[in-house]
A and B are shown apart, each in its own frame.
Chain A
Amino acid sequence: QVPLVESGGGVVQPGRSLRLSCAASGFTFRNYGMHWVRQAPGKGLEWVALVYHDGSKKYYADSVKGRFSISRDNSQNTLYLEMNSLRTEDTAVYYCAPDPISSRVYGMQAWGRGTTVIVSS
C-alpha cells in the first residue's frame, strides 16, 4: 500500500488553473504537517507549500505566493494544492511529502510518487 498518491496533473495553458490532490492511506494523516514540493525537468527540488497538521497555518514559497493555495481535509485524508494563474515555469513533477518533524514523531516518512504538471500553450 502506497501511503501517498498524487493526482490531478496534466497539460494546461498559461493563465489557467489546476487542482492537485494527494490521497493518504495507512497512517494517521491528521497528525502530520504536509508539504508540496516540485521538481522542474532536469532540476533540483523546490519547496512549494506547507500546511500544519490541523490546517491552522500555511506557508508558501515566494514563487507561488498569491497564486497557489494549500489545504487539507482530514476527514477525507486528502491534501490539496489549488494552482491559479499558472506560468510555464510552474512545469514540474509535484510531490506531496510529510513534514520531517511529523515523520520523526509518528514514523511515516515516504513521499508520493508525484504528478506531472505541464504548462504550455
Chain B
Amino acid sequence: IVLTQSPGTLSLSPGERATLSCRASQSVDDYVAWYQQTSGQAPRLLIYGASSRATGIPDRFSGSGSGTDFTLTISRLEPEDFAVYYCQQYGPSPTFGQGTRVEIK
C-alpha cells in the first residue's frame, strides 16, 4: 500500500493552522498513525487509529479520516511544531508516507 502525503512542504507562521494530507492507494480502514520528527531525533507518535491522540500529545493536534483519505491538523502552530510529519499505515505490511515538512514562513 502506497501512502502519498501532500504538500511536500508547508510554509506557515506560528499561530497559523496546518492541514496535512495522507492518501492511501487502497483502503486501510483506520489503521493510520501520524509521527512527528524533529531534526536528529527519533520519531514521536502523535496519532493512532486515525484520530486518537497518543499520551501526552497536546490537543492542538487532531487526526481525521478513514478508508483512503486522512488528515492531520495542527490548530495553532507553536515554535516546537516546525518539523517533519509522517503518516503510516500499520497493517501486516506497514508503509510510511514520504513526509511533509512544516517550516517557518
Interface residues of A in 35-90 (CB under 8 A from B): 35, 37, 44-47, 50, 57, 59, 61
**CB of A32 within 8 Å of the partner chain:** no
Size of A's binding interface in residues, CB under 8 A: 24
Contact partner of B45 (CB less than 8 A), chosen from A47, A59, A103, is: A103
Q: Determine which of A50, A97, A110, A111 lies in contact with B92 in the assembled complex, contact meaning CB atoms within 8 Å.
A: A50
Residue A101, interface by CB 8 Å? yes
Across-interface contacts of B97 in A (CB, < 8 A): 44
Instruction: Compute how far the CA of A109 lies from the CA of B98 in the bound complex, rounded to whole angstroms.
Output: 21
Residue of B37, B84, B95 near A47 (CB, 8 A) is: B95
Q: Is the CB of B96 within 8 A of A46?
A: yes
B79-105 interface mask toward A, CB cutoff 8 Å, 1 = contact, 0 = none? 000001010101011111111000000
Chain A residues within 8 Å of B86, by CB: 44-45
Tell me if B43 and A99 are in contact (CB < 8 A).
no
Q: Are B49 and A104 in contact (CB under 8 A)?
A: yes
**Nearest CB to that of B86 among chain A residues?**
A45
Q: Which residues of chain B are within 8 angstroms of A97 by Cβ–Cβ distance?
A: 43
Task: Check B52 for interface membership: any CB of A closer than 8 A.
Answer: yes
* Chain B residues proximal to chain A, CB less than 8 Å: 31, 33, 35, 37, 42-45, 48-49, 52, 54-55, 84, 86, 88, 90, 92-99
Q: Chain A: residues with CB nearer than 8 A to chain B?
A: 35, 37, 44-47, 50, 57, 59, 61, 95, 97, 99-101, 103-104, 107, 109-114
Could you list 28 examples of A-B contacts with CB < 8 Å?
A44-B84, A44-B86, A44-B96, A45-B35, A45-B86, A45-B96, A47-B88, A47-B93, A47-B94, A50-B94, A57-B92, A61-B93, A95-B42, A97-B43, A99-B90, A100-B31, A100-B33, A100-B88, A101-B48, A103-B54, A104-B52, A107-B55, A109-B54, A109-B55, A110-B42, A110-B45, A111-B43, A113-B42
